[in-house]
Structure formats: C-alpha cells, structure tokens
Amino acid sequence: MDRTTKLIAAAERLFDRHGYVATGMDRLTRAAGMSSRTLYKHAGSKDALMARVLGARDRRFLRRLEVSRVDALFTALADWLRVEGARGCFFLRARAETGGDVPEIAEAVAAHKAAYRARIQAVVTAELGREDEALAEQVLVLLEGATHAAVYRGAEAVEAARAAAAVLVERARA
C-alpha cells in the first residue's frame, strides 16, 4: 500500500470514529505512521485530506450499490453497515461538523449525494423498466433513514425500510 492510500485509510478510520473536528493532525500523523511534513506533502491540508477520504468512501460505497433491484439496495446497505459499522452517514456527519462552510468537504458531500441519488434512480428504472422519480426519492429516503436509525436500532431498521420499499415497488408496478 502506498503512503497516500495508507494515509487516506488511517484518516478515514479516525474521522469516522472521532469526527472531523476532534481529529487533529498529530493524531493523523501517528495513525498513518508518518511525519507531519510527509502528511502535508501527501494530503495538502486537513480539509483536502477529508475531501479525499470522502471521495474514496464514495467510490467504495457506490460499488456496493451496483445492483439491479431495489431489494438488493437494502441488502447492500445491511452488508455495508455490518462491515463498516452503524454510525450514521459519514458524509452528513462531515457536513454537519463543518456547517457546510468548508468548500472541499461541501463539494464532496454534494457529489456523493448526487451520485447516490442517480444510482438509486438507475436501480428503480432497471426494476420497473421505466423511470419513476417519486419512487426513487422514496427509496432514497428509506435508505437514508435506515442508515441513521441503524445507529440505535441495528439491522432491524434496514429490514423495516426494506419492507416499506417492497410495498412501494409493488404499488408502482400496479
């Protein structure tokens, strides 16, 4: 693993667990096993590093959603939460911590949410054989809600959202 990849992985673990604001550069250098000079050389700034972390997480998350059925989106989410942990949406937590005032972070969050929405729309279209903007929005809200409810309800939240989505899909088919 090259230094940049190692740095991004270490930063993601720390930012995800402790938050953006609470994770200082000293903690990042220790976790990545590099000097602060090397860290700045590879990351630029803490804001730029967080944007890169968000980009890497976005790519990893969206790969999990490469499915063709709505039900499979919930299977993918449940698997993601099992592997990554249920701490709520990392992107929304980063945006909330920075108030949307850090351009690099705000742009990474907006890009992720747009890609997430587009992916859900593609799955809905594949399943129904036609576009359905309303259903895509409903599925998005169910997935986002399940992501946050899983923090305190566990996998049960994803199953409840899956059941609600199944009703909505059947209704859209009728």
Query: Number of structural domains, the chain?
Result: 2
Asked if 74 and 140 sit in the same domain, the reply is yes
Asked if 61 and 137 sit in the same domain, the reply is yes
Domain range for 116 is 50-173
CATH number at residue 29: 1.10.10.60
Asked if 100 and 157 sit in the same domain, the reply is yes
Q: So what's the pLDDT on residue 37? A: 87
Asked if 71 and 141 sit in the same domain, the reply is yes
3-state secondary structure of 88: coil
Residue position matching structure tokens 């990545």: 32
Asked if 74 and 13 sit in the same domain, the reply is no
Asked if 67 and 37 sit in the same domain, the reply is no
Report the alpha-carbon distance of residue 79 to residue 85 in Å, rounded.
Answer: 9
Q: So what's the pLDDT on residue 7? A: 87
Query: CB neighbours of 63 closer than 8 A, spacing ≥ 6?
Result: none
What is the number of other CB atoms lying within 10 angstroms of the CB of residue 118? 12
Q: So what's the pLDDT on residue 9? A: 92
Q: So what's the pLDDT on residue 36? A: 83
Asked if 27 and 85 sit in the same domain, the reply is no
What's this model's pTM, rounded to 2 decimal places?
Answer: 0.91
Q: So what's the pLDDT on residue 82? A: 94
Q: So what's the pLDDT on residue 64? A: 95
Q: So what's the pLDDT on residue 15? A: 95
Asked if 12 and 32 sit in the same domain, the reply is yes
Report the alpha-carbon distance of residue 6 to residue 165 in Å, rounded.
Answer: 38
Q: So what's the pLDDT on residue 141? A: 98
10-residue averages of pLDDT along the chain (174 residues): 84 93 89 84 87 96 96 97 93 93 95 98 97 98 97 94 98 94
Asked if 85 and 164 sit in the same domain, the reply is yes
Query: CB neighbours of 70 closer than 8 A, spacing ≥ 6?
Result: 123, 124, 127, 139, 165, 166, 169
